[in-house]
A and B are shown apart, each in its own frame.
Chain A
Amino acid sequence: MDDKRTIMVVDDNPDIVTIVKTILEVKGYVVQSAFSGQEVLSLLKEQKPDLIILDVMMPQMDGLEVLTRLKGDPGTASIPVILLTAKVQYEDVLGGYKMGADYYITKPFTSTQLINGINLLLGEGKA
């Protein structure tokens, strides 16, 4: 394995961040936590992660807006984004993909779902 991959986890609910972080760290990823849309944007100025796991429903700036900004900025457009959301309706999923999400995971999720998604996007075999 190369240098450790960095994954940014964004959710206003710290528990979700903790769970995702725990799962990913076990798998050997470096995890950056963020708890709001604004935080994501400021963190991105310093360092660009290999992948972003983004919650949709957040106060102030929601995940879809963050997604739009990321995909609209040439500097960040290439970072794959997984939407992690409680919105499970077909229209929501389709909407997420239309706005540029690369993968969509609904809450509640299992570690397998998460790892499968990451592996798919980062093109890695099972760690």
Chain B
Amino acid sequence: MEMANTAVHSALIPDRGGLFEAPKKETVIRLRWLIGIISSYLLVFPQASWFDTGYIFFYFLTNVALYFVDEKRFDSSYFYSPLVVFDTLFVTASLVISGQVGTDFYLAYFLVVILCTIWQDFRILLVVASLSTLLYGYFLYHTTELRDQSVYLRIPFLFIIWIFYGYFAQLARREKILKEMAEQDAQDMAMIQTLSQSLPSSLDYQQILATVGDKINQVVRADNIYVFIGDEDQGPSRVLLFGGTKTEGSKPIVADLQEYPFVQECLKSRNPVIRRVPGIDFMPAEPQGESEGLLSQLVMAVPIIFREETLGAICLRFNDKNRVLTPREIQFCQIVAFSTAVALVNAKKYEELKVEAKRRQIIADELAEADNLKSEYLANTSHELRTPIATIMGYGNLLVDGTCGRLGKAHQRAIERLMDNARRLLGLVDQILDYSKFEKGERGLYVKRQDLGTFLKSLQEELTPLEAKKPYKVQYSLSNGIPPIETDWGKLRSILINLLSNAIKFTDQGEVKLSVANGSDKKELFFKVSDTGIGIPKDHVPLIFDKFRQVDGSTAKRYEGTGLGLTITKNLVELLGGRIEVESQIGEGSTFTVTIPFSS
């Protein structure tokens, strides 16, 4: 692309490099010195009057003055055009003043000026200037009877004039061309921009190709546009052929590349191919007779290349066989082909991504299903486990109650240990069940209005067996003036049982307290469970609500549990719309504060 660009530019801009690359100011001033010197020869040589000297001196002064003019002014034709007019007047005037040139010289002079302004190529102009100057010299030599040696000074004069006017005429032409090219470039850029905006936004082949046709037609105006796209499924020599009259992409057909030798050539050489071919129909579905009767037509195939891969070709057909494609048009088609390549690759990637996303979704679904099964299994297991526990505890109770006869002290102790452990086992099973319910997301709220006092009493009863082995009793305190509230009591119960049983578990002596208070705004309730137990190390505090975590393995051995308690507790608190915070000092105890919103 880069190379093509440069090639086109150098073809369009005449006389690139050399004289025209040098700063204009410098060149103009140098040329004017030459003009001045040549004119002064004409004026001064035979005999100089004070006027002639002053005249020349004035011209040199204007040239010196030019040194102080800003370089940028020389880029504007508003500056150098008057300069050229001035110089023309000066030179013509000096010719008149010198009074020693004949009509022939005037003729030659004006011929030079006219030729210079209309001549296209500066290099040929130089050659013509040299030749004509020599010719004039030869002419002078043979016609003039050695009137005066100064006659030969006219020869360099003409040459300098050639160069001077040639330079300015060329400068003006060059600027015009540059301006036109800039405009065309801007136009192309705008086109490319709309193209690059509209192409990647569509991820569908048909739409991309319709857009391509549309865009190409805005610049190149082909009678038909086709797009050949290589298709892996179809094999190497078969392609998908899209297109039809003008733009609208109909369904692609499978085409054999052998039938389109110029497309084949284009794909092979990876360069645009332009051919005059006999009138053929590309697509069977085309309106009949479109190209019938055409002896030949012009076709151009432009490859669609992305990185090193040739994806296909865009093919344009012109029914007018005398149609000439400009470098700019070809270049434009190449740019469109490049954008098309990007868009096609994007579309392909998008398709692949869609497939991949679908595949991942399936995996995710399977995983979710597996997870669900696991939760269900946990729930079922927990139910299954409850039955044997019920049996153990049932028989145990019969023994404890003395239903099966009086027991000795040793028996009773043994049975009590048995019952303790059965209860603990039940607790573990319950925690697993609770956890599996979370995983399944089965936790609706069951809100009921109740009095906190009654609730705390039932809590106390439930925890009594746990206190039995400890030298303290859990202390319950309830601030005055808390009205009966509406909340999910079952969940609140689970939260507090979890926290309190933990507190009791980890506190061998000292005290365990539950205090309930309401916030100053009467919208929040605080449940504070504090103990004087082993405490939690600072760096473990953020982790204690994680799944399956107790402070460390060794503590876990002493204070058994599933480690699910605090995770469930936190989840439950969040379900109630509340939050849980913990403060702890190692060796001194922990305080868990549960804050829940309530309405009375």
B390 within 8 A of A: yes
A22 within 8 A of B: yes
Among A16, A19, A107, point to the contact of B398 (Cβ < 8 A): A19
How many angstroms between the C-alpha atoms of A86 and B391 in the bound complex? 11
Among B383, B384, B386, B433, point to the contact of A108 (Cβ < 8 A): B386
How many angstroms between the C-alpha atoms of A15 and B398 in the bound complex? 12
Q: What are the residues of chain B within 8 A of A108 when measuring CB–CB?
A: 386, 389-394, 422, 426
B256 within 8 A of A: no
Minimal beta-carbon separation of A109 from chain B (angstroms): 7
**Interface pair A111/B446, CB less than 8 Å apart:** no
**Interface pair B389/A23, CB less than 8 Å apart:** no
**Interface pair B387/A91, CB less than 8 Å apart:** no
How many angstroms between the C-alpha atoms of A36 and B390 in the bound complex? 19
Return the chain A residue nearest B443 by Cβ. Answer: A90
Return the chain B residue nearest A56 by Cβ. Answer: B383
Among B387, B433, B442, B446, point to the contact of A107 (Cβ < 8 A): B387
Minimal beta-carbon separation of A116 from chain B (angstroms): 13
Minimal beta-carbon separation of A55 from chain B (angstroms): 9
B278 within 8 A of A: no
Minimal beta-carbon separation of A22 from chain B (angstroms): 5
**Interface pair B383/A87, CB less than 8 Å apart:** yes
A88 within 8 A of B: yes
With contact pairs A19-B398, A57-B383 given, residues A91 and B393 touching in the complex (Cβ less than 8 Å) = no
With contact pairs A26-B403, A108-B426, A111-B401 given, residues A88 and B386 touching in the complex (Cβ less than 8 Å) = yes
Among B384, B392, B403, B430, point to the contact of A22 (Cβ < 8 A): B403
B592 within 8 A of A: no
Number of A-B contacts (CB under 8 A): 63
Return the chain A residue nearest B488 by Cβ. Answer: A90
**Interface pair B426/A23, CB less than 8 Å apart:** no
B453 within 8 A of A: no
Among A91, A107, A111, point to the contact of B390 (Cβ < 8 A): A107
CB-defined interface of A68-93 with B at 8 Å, one 1/0 digit per residue? Answer: 00000000000000000011111100
A38 within 8 A of B: no
B483 within 8 A of A: no
Minimal beta-carbon separation of A13 from chain B (angstroms): 6
Among B401, B403, B437, point to the contact of A89 (Cβ < 8 A): B437
A110 within 8 A of B: yes
How many angstroms between the C-alpha atoms of A126 and B160 in the bound complex? 138
Within 8 A of A (CB), among B382-413: 383-384, 386-387, 389-395, 397-398, 401, 403-404
Max chain A Cβ within 10 angstroms of own Cβ: one of B383, B384, B393, B395: B383
How many angstroms between the C-alpha atoms of A58 and B401 in the bound complex? 29
Max chain A Cβ within 10 angstroms of own Cβ: one of B387, B392, B426, B433: B387
How many B residues, CB 8 Å from partner?
Answer: 25
Q: What are the residues of chain A within 8 A of B384 when measuring CB–CB?
A: 86
**Interface pair B395/A91, CB less than 8 Å apart:** no
B510 within 8 A of A: no
CB-defined interface of A46-65 with B at 8 Å, one 1/0 digit per residue? Answer: 00000000000100000000
**Interface pair A13/B397, CB less than 8 Å apart:** no
Minimal beta-carbon separation of B572 from chain A (angstroms): 13
Minimal beta-carbon separation of B260 from chain A (angstroms): 71
**Interface pair B390/A23, CB less than 8 Å apart:** no
B577 within 8 A of A: no
Q: What are the residues of chain A within 8 A of B392 when measuring CB–CB?
A: 108
**Interface pair A13/B387, CB less than 8 Å apart:** yes
How many angstroms between the C-alpha atoms of A20 and B391 in the bound complex? 10
How many angstroms between the C-alpha atoms of A22 and B404 in the bound complex? 9
Return the chain B residue nearest A15 by Cβ. Answer: B391
With contact pairs A90-B446, A91-B442, A111-B397 given, residues A19 and B386 touching in the complex (Cβ less than 8 Å) = no
Minimal beta-carbon separation of B355 from chain A (angstroms): 41
Return the chain B residue nearest A92 by Cβ. Answer: B383
Minimal beta-carbon separation of B494 from chain A (angstroms): 11
Q: What are the residues of chain B within 8 A of A109 when measuring CB–CB?
A: 390, 394
Q: What are the residues of chain B within 8 A of A16 when measuring CB–CB?
A: 387, 390-391, 394
Q: What are the residues of chain A within 8 A of B444 when measuring CB–CB?
A: 90
Within 8 A of A (CB), among B420-447: 422, 426, 430, 433, 437, 442, 444, 446
Q: What are the residues of chain A within 8 A of B437 when measuring CB–CB?
A: 89
**Interface pair B394/A86, CB less than 8 Å apart:** no
CB-defined interface of A14-32 with B at 8 Å, one 1/0 digit per residue? Answer: 0110011011001000000
How many angstroms between the C-alpha atoms of A90 and B443 in the bound complex? 9
Q: What are the residues of chain B within 8 A of A111 when measuring CB–CB?
A: 397-398, 401, 403
Return the chain B residue nearest A19 by Cβ. Answer: B394
Within 8 A of A (CB), among B472-521: 490
Minimal beta-carbon separation of A92 from chain B (angstroms): 9
With contact pairs A90-B446, A108-B393, A108-B426 given, residues A23 and B387 touching in the complex (Cβ less than 8 Å) = no
Minimal beta-carbon separation of B490 from chain A (angstroms): 6
Within 8 A of A (CB), among B366-394: 383-384, 386-387, 389-394
**Interface pair B490/A22, CB less than 8 Å apart:** no
**Interface residues, chain B, CB within 8 Å of chain A?**
383-384, 386-387, 389-395, 397-398, 401, 403-404, 422, 426, 430, 433, 437, 442, 444, 446, 490
4 closest pairs, A vs B, by CB?
A19-B394, A107-B390, A108-B390, A86-B386
**Interface residues, chain A, CB within 8 Å of chain B?**
13, 15-16, 19-20, 22-23, 26, 57, 86-91, 106-111
List 20 other contacts, CB 8 Å, given A107-B386, A109-B394: A13-B391, A15-B394, A16-B391, A16-B394, A19-B391, A19-B398, A22-B398, A23-B403, A26-B401, A86-B386, A87-B383, A88-B386, A89-B437, A89-B442, A91-B442, A108-B389, A108-B391, A108-B422, A111-B397, A111-B401
Interface pairs (30), CB distance under 8 Å: A13-B391, A15-B394, A16-B387, A16-B390, A19-B391, A19-B398, A20-B394, A26-B403, A57-B383, A86-B384, A86-B386, A86-B387, A88-B386, A88-B430, A88-B433, A89-B433, A89-B442, A90-B490, A106-B386, A107-B386, A107-B389, A107-B390, A108-B386, A108-B389, A108-B390, A108-B391, A109-B394, A110-B393, A111-B397, A111-B398
